[in-house]
Structure 1
Amino acid sequence: MDDFDDRFLRIGDVIKKTGCSRASIYRMVASGAFPHQVPIGRRAVGWRLSAVIEWMESPRDYHCS
């Protein structure tokens, strides 16, 4: 993926892309099994598309650093 293509996804887009529920995503974030959110504004967070795709390619092997 080109760096210029790496955009931020909001929670609704992450839910659509992964098929996981909001609660499941936040539970996996808390356990380190899903990418952490990145602050994108004063009161907004998002997930990098590249991180979500990396997780989708190998969810069992994904561990946040």
Structure 2
Amino acid sequence: MNTARTDEQQAKHIEYIKLPEVRKISGLSTTSIYRMAVAGDFPKQRKLGVKAVAWVRAEVEQWAASRTVAGQTPVATESK
């Protein structure tokens, strides 16, 4: 099995999304996203440049799906 080739193929298909899309998928506020990421309860953002960050779409969608499977709603209870 050639794992190097598989890793390269997966790396080519990474889609980065910005905060507005993360908020839309997760249903969380900006503060909750960052707070949960620090606590290890939400995917962390990736640094793309000096002042640019983004999230990996698959990680955010997997988080949302896991919340649904666990019987929780992806939307946190919070005041916006």
Fold match (TM-score > 0.5): yes
1:57 aligns with 2:65: yes
Looking at CA atoms only, which structure, 1 or 2, has the larger radius of gyration? 2
Structure 2: stretches of 5+ with no match in the other structure:
1-8, 71-80
CA distance in 2, matches of 1:10, 1:22: 11
Secondary structure of the corresponding residue to residue 44 of structure 2: coil
Runs of 4+ in 1 over 6 A off after TM superposition: none
Q: CA RMSD in A?
A: 1.8
| Identity value in percent | 34
Q: Which has the higher strand share?
A: 1
TM-score by length of 1: 0.77
Aligned length: 59
